[in-house]
Structure 1
């Protein structure tokens, strides 16, 4: 259904107004990166347990995301629903933890119900509230003010700018802690092993290389024709050339075949070792896959031989293996 142009423009203006309101809410947070923010970070850094995030309703959704961000950036954290906490889940909080509570009003009943129990545990209570004079803020070890001038909702009812402000402050805390802890890209990859970065930084050649019967191999005394048959059977565009005690002599590739045909040699009678590329580029099975990729790119090749510490052939790595594994 197409709307009249005036209605279309009205919708566009409404959308822009929301973004403008939320931009202002986020901008106002710059003055809240103060001593309270620093103190909150200090409590998190000295935490010997976990950061337990609690929040109700929309604040709960934001809290869940903050907990996930903290956990993935080196600050172990999890979310506890305050309603469930008063029915047993409070046992998930230990004396070594730090509690991070979110409530725009600072008067959320479900959180205030468990407040005395949190205080009894003696754990630091960090709060993100929109009312520094609220019950929750006054009982906090450290309260960070995330109040906004107005919600983006024209009714002033739906949490919009306030939840955005809380989310941004949560990100500010997480990233500050990340930097303070010296959290690296490798650390991030370890907690995201299925992600692209995890694959690039953690995947080893041994995880994706061809082994055993999948390795194309040919004796050096075999004919070029026999080497071609092996290449076609294994589908890697090459075959490893070995001596009679399985030591690597070199590799025979598509490129070697083209060069050999230019000389008009007999593929049925000529030994493959006379036209192979001697040696070949090699890596260890414990080599990082991303380093193997760099080696291929550096030498403009598509295959690496994988040798053990005794120089025995244990695998073959092809560029397509790196592609399938998401390293490229």
Structure 2
């Protein structure tokens, strides 16, 4: 849809310049709110924040995040971020909690309740039940004197001086502060757990990082009869038949024990043709490139990709710990697996 021009007649009094100014002003208000929040974390809120992280770190259950309205949307994201960075977490809607979903909460859990006003009726209705369950309650709220704050064991102050909304009504800066506090908790917990890239990949097996850090060569290589290989004494014509049949553009030359002795590639063939002579009289041992580069079957597929890129090769032989040929891999195999 094409936006209206500055000269078009419209009852909305749209102005490109005014739109830009309002957008920049909203970002400035939210940036100011985050700056104030940062100062509270290292200042008056430091003890509460550190204790909240410590409690979540040793929690034997899950962090149950709750919130209504826009705070609920923020809560869902915080729960997802915690779960993907090593802290078991889930979101429970406060209204649904009053109608049975509270059964999801156990005494070993921690409830992280989010409400800017701290007076949400749906949250207020379940606070006494949470107390009876003995569940630890951590509040993210903009009012330290609210009903939610009074019930909470720890209060994380998310107050903002004003909303980015020019009417100071729509939750904007306040939800940004809530989201940032959730991210701050997740990052602090991630660091305290010693959470690493490999751990993140296990939580995201379908993502690009997961594929890079969880996919091994054995998962994507060609194996069994699909691997071209011949013995050192194999005639050149039989070597070419093996290469053509397997379609890898190369063949391994192996000894009687299956250990790799060399490789012959399409590039080697071109160089032989340029030299001339009767190729049919040659054997695999005479035309092979000895001591080729190989990769272990238990290596990461991304390492195989790096090997190919570094040495400008398109195929690599795969061996086990004893140097026995177990597979072959080319650049197309890695592309299909979305490793690269």
Q: State the TM-score bracket (shorter-chain normalisation).
A: over 0.9
User: What secondary structure, in the 3-state scheme, does the structure 2 residue paired with 1:268 have?
Assistant: helix
Aligned to 2:155: 143
Runs (4+) of structure 1 moved beyond 4 Å? 243-247
Cα deviation for residue 271 of structure 1 reads 2.0
Aligned to 2:11: none
**Structure 1 counterpart of 2:19, from 11, 22, 26:** 11
Contact 2:163/2:174, CA 8 A, preserved across alignment: yes
| TM-score, scaled to structure 2 | 0.90
Q: Equivalences for 1:1-328 in 2 at 5 Å?
A: 1=2, 2-4=4-6, 7-33=15-41, 34-243=46-255, 246-328=258-340
- Of stretches 59-68 and 29-38 in structure 1, the one that deviates more from structure 2 is 29-38
Return 5+ residue gaps in structure 1 as ranges. Answer: none
Measured in 1, the distance between the counterparts of 2:259 and 2:153 equals: 68
Measured in 2, the distance between the counterparts of 1:254 and 1:282 equals: 17
After superposition, the CA RMSD in angstroms is 1.9
Measured in 2, the distance between the counterparts of 1:52 and 1:61 equals: 14
1:140-184 Cα offsets, whole Å, 9 max, x none, are 000111011111122222211111110011101110111111111
Cα deviation for residue 99 of structure 1 reads 0.7
Return 5+ residue gaps in structure 2 as ranges. Answer: 8-13
Measured in 1, the distance between the counterparts of 2:272 and 2:284 equals: 10
Measured in 2, the distance between the counterparts of 1:265 and 1:82 equals: 83
Are the structure 2 counterparts of residues 299 and 4 from structure 1 closer, same or farther at C-alpha, using a change threshold of 3 Å? closer
1:235-290 Cα offsets, whole Å, 9 max, x none, are 32211223566553321112211221232132333223211112322233212222
- Of stretches 186-195 and 57-66 in structure 1, the one that deviates more from structure 2 is 186-195
